[in-house]
Amino acid sequence: MLVLNVIGKGAAPEAFIEALPGAGTAETLSIGHAFDLPFTGDAQAVLAAAKAVPGADRLDINLVETEHRKKKLLIADMDSTIINVECLDELADMAGLKPKIAAITERAMRGELEFEAALRERVGMLKGLPLSALEKTYAERVRLNPGAKHLLATMRADGAHTMLVSGGFGFFTRRVAEAAGFHAERGNTLLDDGAALTGEVGTPILGREAKLAALEEAVAKLKIEYAQTLAVGDGANDLAMIQRAGMGVAYHAKPVVAAAAGAAINHNDLTALLYLQGYTDSQIIRG
């Protein structure tokens, strides 16, 4: 069964109930911020009608399957999803190359460039960058996105396994995974000569297919169904895992990802992934 899930500041069910003739009784997840609304009738017609409600453009509105709603596996992208930046772009800033490299990053994340080739090209431009720039980038630029710790703590407390899987670099995934509370992490390897980057990345490169493989391996190891999984990301290299997961979420994502994902969060922080799963405020760990 599907429900209409609405998230955002000032979210109230009354206008939606009025706009949807087949609407049932709303279930509040967060007072004035998130609710579920059962409905009858064609799901896509209901979604379209809901998005036409005045003020709906400021809210995240999705159709959510209620079976297996609270997921047993969370697999998440890192850059611009769990954290606030693209680490490679920030390393480029340290080298005075951010505009050039960020432009390539943007095209790759939009699916306009092949990920592996674009990664090699960008890393190649960083040859000679001192290793101290990595620590400086992490300390000065990298921050967890709002809601990340709430998401991880709540899902872990409910028995979910959590994985950070990034086309970025292990130097950052290891630190971000520990800071946010992930069980496991995977990332690419920046090669160095002991003092500076060599301009090369270790192989095999973790890209779109490797992210999907990480999901598939976790499902097999945990002996769960794909319906019990949640994958979240923002770029084209996240598409395969997002489309395979039981709940695939485009988080403040590029258009190609938002168009293909089963759910999209464009206006709220990562706590929204908990409301999508039906968690209420009283169940969310915020300490």
8 Å CB contact between 242 and 248: yes
Residue pointed to by tokens 């490797």: 210
Alpha-helical segments (H) within 58-195: 87-94, 98-109, 115-124, 132-141, 148-157, 170-180
Complete edge-to-edge strand list for the sheet that includes strand 2-7: 27-30, 34-38, 2-7, 60-65
Catalytic residue from among 36, 42, 60, 77 = 77
Residue 104 burial (C-beta neighbours within 10 Å; 0-12, 13-18, 19+) = buried
Active site residue 77: yes
Catalytic residue from among 60, 79, 234, 238 = 79
Structure tokens at 163: 């994985």
Residue 83 dihedral angles phi and psi, to the nearest 5°: -115, 170
Alpha-helical segments (H) within the chain: 14-19, 43-51, 87-94, 98-109, 115-124, 132-141, 148-157, 170-180, 208-222, 239-244, 255-260, 272-276
Positive or negative, the CA dihedral 129, 131, 136, 139 is positive
Of 238, 225, 236, which is closest to residue 114 (Cα–Cα)?
Answer: 236
Structure tokens at 197: 């980057």
Active site residue 60: no
Q: Please identify every residue annotated as catalytic.
A: 77, 79
